[in-house]
Structure 1
Amino acid sequence: MHTAIDLKVFYFGTPVVLITTRNPDGSTNIGPMSSAWWLGTTCMLGMNDSSRTARNMLRERECVLNLPSAEQAAPVNRIALVTGEPEVPEHKIARGYTHEPDKFGAAGLTEQESEIVGAARILECPVQIECAVVDAGPFFRPGITAFQADTRRVHVDEDLVIPGTDYVDPLKWDPLIMKFCEYFGEGQPVHSSELARGWRMPHHMGEPEHLRAPAPAG
């Protein structure tokens, strides 16, 4: 039996993407998001216009799509509720966002020079896709822009590539998945989520049991 509800969150399960873009001063910003899907070599991205990432993509017309693995949930979570914009919009303040100009430092991630675009890649991410923003337009409601990012160069950790081919081994690649604001890998929760707290999700998953520190003896 089904029931009709006023569903609050529609993230049924999509990969987390760390979008790196070049700031006006030449530094690199990281924008974590999960509103992304691919068709062929082109990715569709949905971004809030108030974000530093959206503004950088509109100005620079390029970005890097860095895909973290499930084991990298912790650094992603550290920047889930921060923004590169000095003036934090009211709707983000209500969810707990704060301003953070150094996303790499806050996350504990490392910059890696890109080969084509101006923004840096994220060294720790097993998959890095340098892209050109080929189109951008309004989404179904004000304040949201749909970006089309077309692949220019793909970098993949060699341990994930099927030897002698240009294919990623799906048995070795375990992407970090955002499901209803919680972090998952291989169908299991992998880390507590600040984003879920900001969205006031009612399930209160907390830290997955298998990741909790053991209680002190005695």
Structure 2
Amino acid sequence: MHRTLDLKVMYFGTPVVLVSTRNPDGTANLAPMSSAWWLNDHCVLGLGDSARTAANLHREQECVLNLVPSGMVDVVDRLALTTGSPELSPRKAAMGYEFVPDKFARAGVTEQASDLVRAPRVAECPVQLECALVQESVLGSPGSGAAVFQVRVLRSHVAEGLIIPGTHYVDPVGWDPLIMKFCEFFGEGSAVRPSRLAEAWEMPHAGVLTR
């Protein structure tokens, strides 16, 4: 039997990505997001249109998508409820967001120079994708607060241990991506830790899930 629901959240399960971009002053910004999907050498990103990452992508026309394994969940959660924008919207302020100018330092990760774009890579991430912006548009009706960015992967960097020997393929057994489902973190099919984001969104299971 099925029930008809007015679903408030539709995060059924997507990989967590740390998006690195350049700020107007040339410093690096780093933001976690979990609305991304790939087809061939293109990726579609869903972002809030008022986010610093969205503004940086629009201006710089490039980014790096750093894919996160489940073992880096603490790194991602340290960036939860942070923003690279000095001015906080009333909504973000009410949710507990804070301005953090150096996101790499807050996350405890290292900037690594990219080959083809100016935004840095996250050295600790085993998969790093340098990308160029292809197209951007509003998601839904004007004023929805969400934007879609289509990027093309210019260069892929993959940790040696994740490559199937003698091929150009990632080992799907060795790659254990951090997944966000309904604002909670999962890896290897199990919950890995409670999420600060779930608490901010007042999800009914916030703080309950443990590994």
- The interval holding the TM-score normalised by the smaller chain is over 0.9
Cα-to-partner distance string for 1:117-143 (whole Å, 9 max, x where unaligned): 001100111100000001111111322
**Which residue does 2:9 correspond to in 1?**
9
Q: Which residue of 1 aligns with 2:183?
A: 181
User: What's the counterpart of residue 95 of structure 1?
Assistant: 95
Q: 2:34 maps to which residue?
A: 34
Please give the per-residue CA displacement for 1:8-46, whole angstroms capped at 9, x wherever unaligned: 110000000100001111111001100111111100011
User: Aligned equivalents of 1:149 and 1:194: distance in 2?
Assistant: 28
Work out which of the residue numbers 132, 135, 144 in structure 1 matches 2:146. Answer: 144
Q: Distance in 2 between matches of 1:26 and 1:8?
A: 37
2:3 & 2:17 partners in 1: Cα distance? 32
1:66-97 per-position Cα deviation (integer Å, ceiling 9, x unaligned): 00100000010010110000001122222221
After the TM superposition, which parts of structure 1 deviate over 6 Å for at least 4 consecutive aligned residues? none
Once residues 52 and 134 of structure 1 are traced to their aligned partners in structure 2, the CA distance between those partners, rounded to angstroms, is 19
1:1-218 equivalent positions in 2, closer than 5 A: 1-141=1-141, 142=143, 143-206=145-208, 208-209=210-211
> By how many angstroms is 1:207 displaced?
5.9
Instruction: Name the CA distance, whole Å, in 2 between partners of 1:74 and 1:199.
Output: 19
Structure 2 residue identity aligned to 1:45? L
Aligned length: 209
Secondary structure of 2:173's partner? coil
Cα pair 2:162 2:170 within 8 Å, conserved: yes
Question: What is the distance in 1 between the residues matched to 2:11 and 2:94?
Answer: 20
Asked if the contact 1:50/1:89 (under 8 Å) is kept, the reply is: no
Residue pair 2:195, 2:206 contacting (<8 A) in 1 also? no
The CA distance in 1 between the partners of 2:75 and 2:193, in whole Å, is 10
Contact 2:134 2:152 survives alignment (8 Å): yes
1:206 deviates by 4.1
Q: Mark the runs of 5 or more structure 1 residues left unpaired by the alignment.
A: 210-218
Equivalent pair of 1:193/1:206 in contact (CA under 8 Å): no
TM-superposed CA distance for 1:49, in Å, is 1.3
Identity of aligned residues (%): 56
In 1, Cα distance between equivalents of 2:137 and 2:84: 22
